[in-house]
A and B are shown apart, each in its own frame.
Chain A
Amino acid sequence: MSVQANIVPVTASDLLAKVRDLKSEGYRMGQICATKVSAGFEILYSFDKNHELLNLKLTVAEEEEVQSITSEYWSAFIYENEMHDLFGIKIKHIALDYGGHFFKVSEPTPWNPKK
């Protein structure tokens, strides 16, 4: 299984501190992407500096709350609301929280349907 060298695992408690470091080093937030895995969710945070890519990978349990990074990168609100609406990931303290009305979908959390 090939794993890209620039994907670095991170824990939920370290996330915000790590993101703060990256911000002070001049990294730009690229995107946030969630994947449903059997243990819960994998969340991939991508950052860029001088056209070099760096990814942080956070694995969380299904019901675990994730800290928002909008305090560091305001533009993350788009991705965090998207993850909340499509996957049902609980994210706390989003700067601009749409409360589940960002994407209007016919069934809630289509990527992680509740039975």
Chain B
Amino acid sequence: MSYVTKSPWVIHYDGSSCNGCDIEVLACLTPMYDVERFGIINTGNPKHADVFLVTGSVNEQNKGVVKQIYEQMPEPKVVVAVGICANNGGIFRECYNIMGGVDTVIPVDVYVPGCAARPEAIIDGVVKGLGVLEEKRKALASGQLTAPAAPEESEQAEEQEAASEENGTEKVEEKEEA
């Protein structure tokens, strides 16, 4: 975890989630899981935030809200889609008022699976996102990154690797120490 030198602030928006993932996101902040030990703070102001946690899929009415929050966040920024609904619509995929995953509206960097996503998985996803954030910061500094890139298939595959990657084991060790 040596690359976590900053204190990333997250903003959370509930798309059309069932609350299951939302209360797990909140559970991450509370004493049992306590993401604040990584310096992560939940903020309500998009202009203060580095990481955008979205739960639930997007629909006609909230796509503008999601877009607006994303656009207000300063660069570099990372979007973490929490739960299967935010990934691709999940069980509600066939509903008439569901457009699909969050990536239909804004680019997503990390996909966290689960229904509901477990707090451990959410923390893993955010930590993974911090790696992306650092890369984006470097790219931004060197002038390589200008506009946010469109989401690509490869990112999903990357996320699947995330579960087995060392991030996960590292996190568990950290937890034991804490």
From A106, which residue of chain B is reached at the shortest CB distance?
B60
Tell me which residues across on chain A come within 8 A of B60, comparing CB atoms. 104-106
Cα–Cα, bound, A29→B110 (Å):
46
- Is A110 located at the chain interface by the 8 A CB criterion? yes
Tell me which residues across on chain A come within 8 A of B99, comparing CB atoms. 106
- Is B17 located at the chain interface by the 8 A CB criterion? no
Tell me which residues across on chain A come within 8 A of B96, comparing CB atoms. 105-107, 110
Tell me which residues across on chain B come within 8 A of A110, comparing CB atoms. 96-97
Bits for B61-100, please: 1 = Cβ < 8 Å to A, else 0.
1000000000000000000000000000000000011010
Bits for A87-115, please: 1 = Cβ < 8 Å to B, else 0.
00000000000000000111100100000
Cα–Cα, bound, A107→B59 (Å):
11
Chain B interface mostly: loop
Cα–Cα, bound, A110→B126 (Å):
37
- Tell me the residues in window 3-37 of chain A with beta carbons closer than 8 Å to chain B beta carbons: none
Output the least CB separation between B152 and chain A (Å): 26
- Tell me the residues in window 24-73 of chain B with beta carbons closer than 8 Å to chain A beta carbons: 59-61
Output the least CB separation between A109 and chain B (Å): 10
From A105, which residue of chain B is reached at the shortest CB distance?
B97
Output the least CB separation between B163 and chain A (Å): 34
Output the least CB separation between B33 and chain A (Å): 35
From A113, which residue of chain B is reached at the shortest CB distance?
B96
Cα–Cα, bound, A110→B97 (Å):
9
Cα–Cα, bound, A56→B87 (Å):
42
Cα–Cα, bound, A109→B96 (Å):
10
From B59, which residue of chain A is reached at the shortest CB distance?
A106
Tell me which residues across on chain B come within 8 A of A106, comparing CB atoms. 59-60, 96-97, 99
Tell me which residues across on chain B come within 8 A of A105, comparing CB atoms. 60, 96-97
Tell me which residues across on chain B come within 8 A of A107, comparing CB atoms. 96
Top 7 A-B pairs, shortest CB-CB distance:
A106-B60, A104-B61, A110-B96, A105-B97, A104-B60, A106-B97, A105-B60
Residues of B whose CB lies within 8 Å of any CB of A are: 59-61, 96-97, 99
6 contacts between A and B (CB under 8 A): A104-B60, A106-B59, A106-B96, A107-B96, A110-B96, A110-B97
Kindly list 11 other residue pairs between chains A and B, CB separation below 8 angstroms, not including A104-B60, A110-B97: A104-B61, A105-B60, A105-B96, A105-B97, A106-B59, A106-B60, A106-B96, A106-B97, A106-B99, A107-B96, A110-B96
